[in-house]
């Protein structure tokens, strides 16, 4: 007994020493330092955009300053009072929301089918779906233009919303399938035994169970539709033109209107900020897409 006691004490002291060398609080500060560096790297370009939007063009071009010297809201006022500017935001939001609605509505039943049933051609279908995620929008530019032109949808919000379905529906099916597979099948069976019909079960029981999954899916749908420009620009001319396309107007004969461009850019970031704020609690766990 005594020898083993002795052994354990000497062990203990060596580990105390090791602990001192590997100081956890120093490690914590090191982590904060590097994380801080990364955050600065992320925020600095955004800061520069925002600060420029509050400067006048003369200030921007006349000299270099870290902070706006004379705070001006002229660019924002111009954007928010000129319909040809702000309608760009409205157009973008319209087709994004339309696309989110369409995508989630058709993806929910499809994802359920993939997560619960085996049916003829299911694997091939799923793989084909995923291939659409990989289709470069550039490939589809011309055919889309011709297709939507011939069916009279050119320059409408619905055209862009449908075009974005190309990658958003497969994405939604894929993400939702992951979350749905995480719900035990017994849940379905119990509900049927309790006398639920399929539609009622799906809406009342199943959908609430994968709330966070739907939240994350909507986040991704928003993200990819909001940030895409190539298709949106090609399929619209004036009536449904996205803000991204309108921004090129700042390139005038006398050079680029930097302040206006920066303000327009800043305003495109805001909807994103709001979306992240709403889904922040889902992101932490749900971002793994049910596949951990």
Partner 1 sequence: MAEIILRSLAHTYDAKAGADSDYAIRQMDHVWHQGGAYALLGPSGCGKSTMLNIISGLLSPSEGEVLFDTERVNELSPEERNIAQVFQFPVVYDTMTVYDNLAFPLKNIGMAKHLIPAKVHEVADILELTSVLHRKAKNLSADEKQKVSMGRGLVRDDVSAILFDEPLTVIDPQLKWKLRRKLKQIHERFNITMIYVTHDQLEASTFAEKIAVMYDGQIVQFGTPRELFERPAHTFVGFFIGSPGMNFLEVTVDEHNVHFSGLRIPANPRRLQSAIASGSSNIKAGIRPEFIHVWDEPNDEAFEVEVQDVEDLGTYRILSFYLGGQIVRARLNEDQNIPSQKAYVSFPEQWLNIYVDEYRVGDDDE
Partner 2 sequence: MNKVENNKAWFLVLPMLLLVAFSAIIPLMTVVNYSVQDILGSSAYFVGTEWFKDILNDSQLQQALIRQFIFSFTILAIEVPLGIGVALMMPKKGWRASLILILVTLPLLVPWNVVGTIWLIFTRTDIGLAGVGLRELGYAYNITRNDGDAWVTIVLMDVWHWTPLVALLCYSGLQAIPQAYYQAARIDRASRWAIFRYIQLPKLSNVLVIGVLLRFMHSFMIYAEPFVLTGGGPGSSTTFLSQTLTTMAIGQQDLGPSAAFSIIYFLIILAVCYCFYVAILNMGRDKNTSQPR
Residues 2-41 that bind partner 1 (CB under 8 A): 4-5, 7-9, 11-12, 15-16, 19
Contacting partner 2 within 115-144 (CB under 8 A)? 115-120, 122, 125, 127, 129-144
Identify which of residues 71 and 138 has a Cβ nearer to partner 2 in the complex: 138
Per rule CB under 8 A, is residue 244 in the interface with partner 2? yes
User: Shortest Cβ distance from residue 30 to partner 2 (Å)?
Assistant: 9
**Which two tokens mark 175?**
């993400």
| 134 contacts: CB under 8 Å, gap ≥ 6 | none
Identify which of residues 2 and 25 has a Cβ nearer to partner 2 in the complex: 25
User: Shortest Cβ distance from residue 251 to partner 2 (Å)?
Assistant: 11
> Which run of H or of E encompasses 251?
strand 251-252
Among partner 2, partner 1, none, the one that 113 touches (CB under a kind-dependent 5 to 8 A) is: partner 2
Identify which of residues 1 and 139 has a Cβ nearer to partner 2 in the complex: 139
Q: What's the CA angle centered on 217, arms 106 and 230, to 5 degrees?
A: 85
Alpha-carbon distance of 127 to 122, in angstroms, equals 9
**Which two tokens mark 169?**
């529906």
- Span of 2-10, 61-69, 76-84, 203-211 interacting with partner 2 by CB under 8 A: 61-69
Nearest CA-CA partner of 104 in 44, 165, 39: 165
Identify which of residues 61 and 80 has a Cβ nearer to partner 2 in the complex: 61
Per the listing, tokens 């327009």 go with 264
DSSP letter string, 252-266: ETTEE-HHHHHHHHH
Q: Which of 17, 185, 200, 211 binds partner 2 (CB under 8 A)?
A: 185
Per rule CB under 8 A, is residue 69 in the interface with partner 2? no
Nearest CA-CA partner of 240 in 155, 147, 153, 151: 155
Q: Compute the residue count for the chain.
A: 292
Among partner 2, partner 1, none, the one that 130 touches (CB under a kind-dependent 5 to 8 A) is: partner 2
User: Shortest Cβ distance from residue 5 to partner 2 (Å)?
Assistant: 20
Contacting partner 2 within 150-169 (CB under 8 A)? 162-163, 165-166, 169
Identify the DSSP state of 247: G
Phi then psi dihedrals of residue 180, to 5 deg: -70, -35
Applying CB under 8 A, the residues found at the interface with partner 1 are: 1, 4-5, 7-9, 11-12, 15-16, 19
């Amino acid at each position: 007994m005594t020898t083993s006691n002795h052994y354990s004490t000497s062990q203990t002291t060596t580990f105390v020493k090791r602990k001192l060398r590997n100081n956890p609080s120093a490690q914590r500060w090191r982590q904060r330092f590097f994380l801080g560096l990364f955050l600065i790297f992320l925020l600095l370009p955004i800061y520069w955009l925002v600060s420029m939007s509050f400067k006048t063009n003369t200030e921007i071009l006349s000299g270099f300053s870290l902070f706006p010297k004379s705070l001006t809201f002229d660019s924002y006022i111009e954007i928010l009072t000129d319909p040809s500017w702000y309608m760009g935001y409205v157009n973008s939001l319209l087709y994004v929301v339309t696309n989110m609605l369409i995508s989630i509505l058709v993806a929910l039943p499809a994802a359920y089918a993939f997560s619960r049933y085996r049916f003829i051609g299911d694997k091939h279908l799923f793989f084909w779906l995923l291939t659409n995620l990989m289709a470069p929008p550039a490939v589809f530019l011309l055919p889309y233009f011709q297709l939507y032109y011939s069916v009279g949808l050119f320059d409408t919000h619905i055209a862009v919303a449908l075009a974005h379905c190309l990658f958003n529906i497969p994405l939604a099916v894929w993400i939702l399938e992951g979350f749905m597979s995480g719900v035990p099948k017994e849940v379905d069976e119990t509900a049927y035994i309790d006398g639920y019909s399929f539609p009622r079960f799906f809406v009342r029981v199943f959908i609430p169970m994968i709330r966070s999954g739907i939240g994350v899916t909507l986040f991704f749908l928003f993200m990819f539709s909001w940030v895409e420009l190539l298709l949106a620009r090609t399929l619209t001319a004036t009536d449904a033109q996205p803000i991204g396309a309108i921004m090129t107007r700042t390139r005038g004969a006398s050079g680029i209107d930097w302040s206006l461009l920066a303000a327009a850019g800043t305003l495109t970031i805001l909807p994103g900020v709001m979306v992240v704020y709403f889904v922040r609690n889902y992101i932490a766990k749900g971002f793994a897409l049910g596949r951990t």
